[in-house]
Structure 1
């Protein structure tokens, strides 16, 4: 297959890294980067923290763009409406319709919303504009905040609000991030928030939002009411695949790819939207982490170039890495805790808010979680690259 033109749909972190990799790997053809926002690619982690708290100017989130992309075409503020995978033809909202030799899909995911929550004061945090709106509401002197959902975005928003001195209530059916990290670590996280003044309402969910001009209160399923004029919804995301319906690609909780990130001939996917089999862990899922967007964007670009005769990079089988900053503490997770059989603390303790916890699945170490223990976690990050046994991991912790 000849690759003279490539379109990257999604001016995101994954899309940017794919674009830069294409140029670094020798692609000299036409390169088009399409984004539905007016902004150049920017960093999302600060949105729920430094931007929401008003500590950073907006331009500080803008990602540096390699000079290799000086000749790239940036089609910003332009939404992709459909794709014909067989001919690799894109149709855009402005009416343009164009075929490319190769396509990178990096359109990410969108926050889940709740019925009846479309009123002033109710926020999601995904885009720069979302974060600006939240920042402006957090600046209200009488602001009372409710966090709906205990995922990491919700946790970070809660920590930001508390740093600003705002009263915060968090509503979650289970303990924060229990579906990912398990109940043991989830309760540790809940206690960290409680110690900093967050009113944790566990075992309940939002029933309805009430307000006239803006949010005034949230009704919960146990009949209780939370007075609040600002709400942050942190109930997960949905991959942005709507525009790909009827494209000919396989869509199932994301764009389904093979182990190399190839979704169809001449088409690859990367970042939050890509669902692929990670042979390292026997998992078939999406990974919604900053580090994965970088690495998968690079890998997908190399795989696309292989369609034109470049070396095939093979399977993409990373050890995932994730972090979250809250209350001056850094959580870091390496590996995957999904379907674990045991969690064991091997350094520090939850009470001192400094620890390493290891995750076992069968007789393998599959993940390590560190809180305020970056140096010690590095050892397990390196160890996980070699798929260690549980016995090896425990011995190394002694």
Structure 2
């Protein structure tokens, strides 16, 4: 068995190169499913390592690192590559050169980490048994999610991984630490688009109108009862409306009101049931007040489940690599991630990589224009990814 000290030495030796890769990616971000230059850059990096990357899901890549007896067991490592439509406000040499686009969710870190892990693993491939499958994924930030398209294109077949591991930056933890949680970790996410139609007119004569603003207000308030009275108190659920457009005036009642929101939970059966309740409530309440309602529910990512036994092995491996004090237990989080698709069809574990500096710098949240990381994370991330894959390969039973 390869010892963690060897992987740590390789991670330290390659850290400067990983930083350079990350800064290149950060300076050249591309939006979801538009990662053409990014995927070309990643493919070239992989070819320089002697690998043969293959396209998948349009702007995705898959590559195999084969050790001894490559068909005996398979572990997959995943990184996403897309950026967000955010104007960067950091004043750094590697600031985004693409106006209005920024790696504000750390996918540049994920991609650089996986490339660094690949470099480490290529150095030790004669010392492990099995295959490590590298998944470079597009479009995590945009429905239907690049993970779903990767799976449809067969990325979990030929060979089929027995375990899938993914990491994500986490500014709430300092660099040098990671966090994980077994079982249900992140929520499903559905987008809600609601149009309430009434009959507009002069605000001084409401009796001649069917006021969609009042109807919409009743719907927004009443819909909260789906979470508070229909869902079990033991089951986390979130229903939030973040956009309401009633394009009237101080004395003008509009004809319609447009509303956008999100529904999230950690149970697929309740998710479907809540959709039915929400549709019945919206349509029925509108009709009872003389209005009409159209509700579009765009089904998003499923909930993310960290398989307990795999997560326990991942924790054990992380503690051996980082020390037990540097492995934190995470709370459930109602944000969503399309890594959840992998967790629905395979044993999977999604963990968090600390990126905040010890002095408190780099604490800005993801999806903000000032997000950045402590460069120490770019040594920890690749090394830990490589080590977790090796540890998992050694723990898995042989397929033969």
Normalized against structure 1, the TM-score is what?
A: 0.28
- Higher normalized helix content (fraction of residues): 2
More strand by share: 1
**Quick check: which has more Rg, 1 or 2?**
2
